[in-house]
Amino acid sequence: MARRPARRGRERQGPRRDAPAARQRAAGGPLAGQRARRRHLRRGVHAVHAAGDVHAAQPVPAPLRRPPRGRAGVLRPHRLRPRHPHPRPQARGRGRVPVAPRGAAGRLRGVQAGVAGAPPPAHRHHPLAAGRAGDPGAPLRRRLDAVRRRRQRRDGRGVLRGTARAGHRAPPHQGRGGLRVRIAVGQFASTEDWQTNLKTCMTLIDEAAEGGADLLVLPEDSLALFIDEPDRIAEVAQPLDGPFVTGLLEHTAGTRTTVVVGIHEPAGGGKVHNTLAAIRDGAVVAVYRKVHLYDAFGSRESDRVRPGDGEPVVFDCAGWRVGLMTCYDVRFPEMARLLVDAGAQVLALPAAWVRGPAKERHWEVMVTARALENTCYVAASGECGRRNIGASMVVDPLGIVRDRLADRPGLLWAVADREELDEARRKLPVLANRRFRVDPSIRPREETA
């Protein structure tokens, strides 16, 4: 039988260059101890040493299985895992923790498992460092709970920034008797059929009530939207006792969620009112009719809409005072200031912000400015679709966007905190430092044309 030709590569290159190291490992030299020690650590044994003392080795538990990601939006625990679950052994030298004596095979010498009185592993990356040895999953559960608590009061830096959160469920309610109010903001694309829009509103109300929302803000044109023929809105306009609002009243009966929704109601003369209705537990608790009509960027809302009387509307919600504004009102800072002077701590802002050059930037700047200059919360709901930008958001009293949506339907959540509000107004006392008052009298529209 013919001999197989020799393989090219390392086998034909003669003895390996690391032959001395191999001989050292075989003879139990220094390299043998280092490599065996590394294998020993990988097997899950870690010894914790105090200065001048050696304690028992503690077994490292197997990594916990990743919990399933459900509708609650729990963060994946891989973001919470320690960077170094098995730290490398400390080097010897001044100021370093002494290393336990090891034999040639890398095993610990003079260390007995289960020594009475031995302290638990103290390394900050060790899975058992913050919990009991009998409950290795406790540290991870505590970290997940801490993340859930932080998500309720953080700004918009987290997950899902700029994305729709359809189907997202809020964490359990943690209200403290009026100190906190849970806010939900719904966003959807309104259609020409008010019955379809009513079903969409009911779905968002169900999600908000299930998540324990105190306040739900829906878009401006929730009743109906005619993009190509805006004058047709007068054909479907309904009074407050019409079927659309009546359906919402029946749907909210028995719930504690206050719903702010935009409709159009007849105003006579072929025109309508652009109206906001605040609904809670089967009753209308507040009504606001839009004052500033959108006669800008080539649009003429005043051709089909009659303005309101200009009285600021503020109502109570879960121990908080909520003021109402509609879309184009946000461009007029005196409107927001009047509401805050009337006691508003949260501004509910339904809108249907039309797309256009730099319009998205205008929206973000205006909403943020109204919150910052009045040190209050702003919950802005934008209608999305092929004409409007969506971009719903919640901004806190220091102008930080807590959460936002992009241009798709969804539901976002935020928590307004009374202590946070008071702290912001203490650090930034613009309301106390101002020198001018806002005149609440409204001018006739002919003078403003």
Residue 105 counted as domain residue? no
Say whether both 219 and 144 belong to one domain: no
- Do 273 and 419 lie in one domain? The reply is yes
pLDDT confidence band for 98 (50 / 70 / 90): very low
What's residue 147's pLDDT?
72
Residue 227 confidence class, pLDDT cut points 50, 70, 90:
very high
Do residues 301 and 338 share a domain?
yes
Residues 233 and 352 in one domain: yes
User: Any alpha helices (H) in 152-193, and if so which ranges?
Assistant: none
Residue 393 and residue 419 in one domain: yes
Q: Residues with catalytic annotation?
A: 220, 290, 327
Alpha-helix runs per DSSP H in 239-305: 243-252
Other Cβ atoms less than 10 A from the Cβ of 140: the count is: 18
Q: Which position has the higher pLDDT, 147 or 102?
A: 147
- Pair 286, 324: CB distance under 8 Å: yes
Return the CATH number at 340.
3.60.110.10
**Is 22 part of a structural domain of the chain?**
no
Does 188 lie in the same domain as 132?
Answer: no
The answer on pLDDT for 117 being more than 80 is: no
Angle at 178 between CA 75 and CA 366, to 5 degrees: 70
Which residue did the predictor score with more confidence, 42 or 380? 380
- Whether residues 140 and 188 share a domain: the answer is no
Q: Is residue 234 located within the same domain as residue 367?
A: yes
β-bridge partners, 389: 384
Comparing 189 with 71, which gets the higher pLDDT?
189
Looking at residues 107-135, what average pLDDT do you find?
Answer: 41
Q: Answer yes or no: is 152 within a domain.
A: yes
> Is 103 a member of any domain?
no
307 and 333 part of one domain: yes
Average pLDDT over residues 32-37: 60
Percentage of the chain modeled with pLDDT above 90:
56
pLDDT band at 370 (very low <50, low <70, confident <90, very high): very high
Q: 29 lies in a domain?
A: no
Are 236 and 359 in the same domain?
A: yes
Determine the length of the chain: 449
- What's the domain count of the chain? 2
Q: At 128, is the pLDDT very low, low, confident or very high (cuts 50, 70, 90)? A: very low
Core vs surface per residue 219-257: b (16+ CB within 10 A) or e: bbbbbbbbeeeeeebbebbbeeebebbebbbebbeebeb
- Residues 370 and 335: their CA atoms lie apart, in Å, by 9
Assign 257 a pLDDT band (cuts: 50, 70, 90). very high
Q: What is the mean pLDDT of residues 386-406?
A: 96
Under the banding of pLDDT at 50, 70 and 90, the label for residue 443 is confident
Query: pTM to 2 decimals?
Result: 0.63
For residues 297 and 384, state if they share a domain. yes
List pLDDT tens digits, range 264-287: 999 989 999 999 999 999 999 999
Average pLDDT, the chain: 76
For residue 143, the enclosing domain spans 127-158
Q: Report pLDDT for 49.
A: 42
Instruction: Tell me, yes or no, whether 224 lies in a domain.
Output: yes
Q: Is residue 346 part of a domain?
A: yes
Flag whether pLDDT at 352 surpasses 80.
Answer: yes
Provide the sign of the torsion angle of the four alpha carbons 437, 438, 443, 448, taken in this order: positive
Same domain, 234 and 361: yes
Q: What pLDDT, in 10s, does the model give residues 42-88?
A: 554 444 443 444 444 444 454 555 555 555 554 444 444 444 444 44
Q: Is residue 297 part of a domain?
A: yes
